[in-house]
Amino acid sequence: MLIIITLIVMGCYIYLGRKYPTIALVTSPFVAGSLILLGVVDENIAVAVIAPGIFIVTIINVMLSKPEPRDEQWPQVLAKWILVIFVFLLLSVTLGVAFGPMGVSGIVFFALLIGSVIAYALTSRLATDTYIISTIGSIMRQNLPLSMALESAAGGRADNRSRILNQIQKWLVQGYSLSESIKRGYPKCPGYAVAMIAAAERINQLPLAIQAIESDMLTRADERRKIRPVHPLYPVILMVFMFFMLFGVMTFVIPSFKVALEEMFGGPRLPAATRFLIGTTSFVAYEFAWVTWPLLILLVITIIPISIYIKFRPRRPHKPYLLSRIGDYVKWHLPVLHNFEKNYSLVQVVELLRLSLNAGCTVNDAIKNTLGLDINNRFKKRLQRWLKKVERGDDIATAIRKSKLGAPLAWAFDDKVNQGNTLMILETLESFYRSNYSYYVNLARFIMWPCLILLMGLIVGFVVYAIFSPSILIIEQLSGKVIP
C-alpha cells in the first residue's frame, strides 16, 4: 500500500512541477524525506529507494516548465543548478569509486573542461553584448528609424544575435523605451549598459551614452583577447594538484620511511620539515576532518555554483540583489579593491554628469541621474548624501568634499577656481579616471604576479625538501655503517 501511495505522490509532483513549480520545488524535499523515513521505519526498501525519485522528477519537471513572461523564473534557475550539481557529484563519486586515482584525475580534468566552457561562454556573452550595442549605436549615428533598422539588421536570420535584435524591435514597436525594450528583449544585457541607457534617455543624450558604452565594451573585449603568460586560475590548479599529491605522499610514502628508520637505525627522528608537513596534513585531513571536509564540500556545491551564477547574471541597478549588495560591501572595504571600485564608479558618474549638464540639466537633476547607474552601492550612498546637501542649499564643491567624493570632482564644481569651465574639467576628469583605472590594474597585475610566483615557488620548494629529506637521512645513516 505504501508503494502505491509513493507512486501517486510522484505523479502529483510531476503535475505540480509543470503547473506550480514554486510549490513543487519548496515542498518536494520534505515530502521525499518523510517517505524515506516511513520506508526505513516500515522496513520497506522499495519505498526508501523510490522516494528520492520524487525530488529528482520534481527538479526535472520544474526545469522543463515554461513560466509566463511576468512570472518569477527563479524556480527554473534553481532547479537547473540543483540538477547540474547532483549530476556532477554523482559522476565524481562514480569515477572516484570505480577508478580510484584515475577517477580523481578524471574529476580534475572534467572540472577544467567545465571551466573552459564557462570562460568561452563569458567571452561569447561579451561579444554578443558588444554586437548588440554597436548595432544600436550605428543605427542612431545614421539617424535611421530604430525599429525598422533593427528588423533589417536581423535580416531574417535564425542565429542568437538576430533573435535578440528581433526581440528588442518587437518591444520598441509596442511603444516601450529603448532601455525597457533591451531589458525585455535581452535580459542578459549588462546592468551598467542598461542603467546608462535609461539615464541617457531622460536627458536626450542616447547617442553619446551608447558610444561610451560601446567604447567600454570594446576595451573589455580587447583585454580578453590579449594572451597572458599566466592564467589567473593557474595558482589555484597548482595548489589543488599539490594538495592531493602531498596528501597521498604523506599518507602512504613517508610513514614507510619512518618505519624503516625505526627498524634499521633505532629510530632517528624524521627531519623537522617533514614532521611539520606530516602534522599539517594530519591536522587538516584527520584531526579536524569533521570541519575541513564539510567546508570543502560546501565550497564545491555552493560557492562555486553561486560564483558562476553571479558571473552570468546581469546586475540590477534599480533594485540590487542581496548577493550584489554583499559583494559591493566586501569590495568597498577591502584595501586594494576599494580604490578600484571608487575609480570605476567615478568614471561612470563623471561621464553622466557631463552629459546631463551638457543637455541643460540642473546640478540636482544631474546628480539624480547618476543614482540610477550600476555602481557600487556604498559609493551610491555618498552620491545620495551629496544630493541632499545640494538640495539643502549647500555649496556644491563643499558638499562634494563632505560627501567624500574626491577633491578632483570638487575642483570641477568650484566656482571660485574655474568659473564656467565645469564641462571641460569633467571631460578631463573622465579621461583621467579611465586612464588611472587601467594604469592601476596593470600595476597591480605586474606587482602581484611576481610575488605570487615567488610565494608558490617557496611553497613547492619546501614541500619537495620535506618529501625527499627522509631519503637523504637514510642514505646518511647507511653511509655511516659501511665497513671499508
Domain layout of the chain by residue ranges: 2-99, 118-225, 234-307, 325-452
Whether the CB-CB separation of 189 and 183 falls below 8 Å is answered with yes
Distance CA 451, CA 456 (A): 9
Q: What is the CA radius of gyration of the chain?
A: 30
Place of cell 642514505: 475
For residue 71, what pLDDT is reported?
46
CA distance 456 to 453: 5
User: How far apart, in Å, are the Cα atoms of 93 and each of 89, 90, 473?
Assistant: 6, 5, 39
Mean pLDDT by runs of 10 across the 484 residues of the chain is 79 80 78 79 76 81 66 66 70 55 54 62 76 86 84 75 87 88 86 83 82 76 53 66 74 73 68 80 72 72 70 77 85 86 88 84 86 87 91 88 88 79 85 82 77 83 82 73 55
Burial annotation 351-383 (CB, 10 A radius, 16+ → b, else e): bbbbbbbebebebeebbbbbbbbbbbbbbbebb
Phi-psi bin for 211: left (phi > 0), alpha (psi -120 to 50), beta? alpha
Tell me what pLDDT residue 50 has: 78
Question: How much is the pLDDT for 70?
Answer: 45
Taking the alpha carbons of 99, 104, 107, 109 in that order, is the dihedral positive or negative?
negative
Helix (H) / strand (E) element for 319: namely none
d(CA 484, CA 482): 6
CA dihedral 353, 354, 357, 358 (to 10 degrees): -150
Specify whether the CB–CB gap between 424 and 334 falls below 8 A: no
Q: Which long-range contacts (CB under 8 A, 24 or more apart) does 133-138 make?
A: 133/193, 133/210, 133/213, 133/214, 133/217, 134/214, 134/217, 135/165, 136/168, 136/178, 136/210, 137/207, 137/210, 137/211, 137/213, 137/214
User: 390, 396 in Cβ contact below 8 A?
Assistant: yes
Selection from 390, 391, 435, 431 nearest residue 413 by Cα: 390
Mark out the alpha helices in 101-205 (DSSP H runs): 101-141, 146-154, 160-173, 178-185, 191-202
Q: What does the alpha-carbon distance between residue 165 and residue 157 come to, in Å, rounded to a whole number?
A: 10
- Residue 126: exposure state from Cβ atoms within 10 A (0-12, 13-18, ≥19): middle
Give ∠ CA 449-121-149 in degrees, rounded to 5: 120
Alpha-carbon gap, residue 185 to 371, rounded angstroms: 24
Q: Which three cell numbers stand for residue 239?
A: 595548489
- The CATH number assigned to the domain with range 118-225 reads 1.20.81.30
Distance CA 435, CA 48 (A): 63
| pLDDT given for residue 356 in this prediction | 85
Look at the block and give the residue holding cell 568614471.
347
Alpha carbons 129 and 134: distance in angstroms, whole number: 8
DSSP state of 300: I
Q: Spell out the residues 6+ positions from residue 426 whose beta carbon is closer than 8 angstroms to its own.
A: 350, 353, 354, 357, 412
Q: Check: CB of residue 375 under 8 Å from CB of residue 331.
A: no
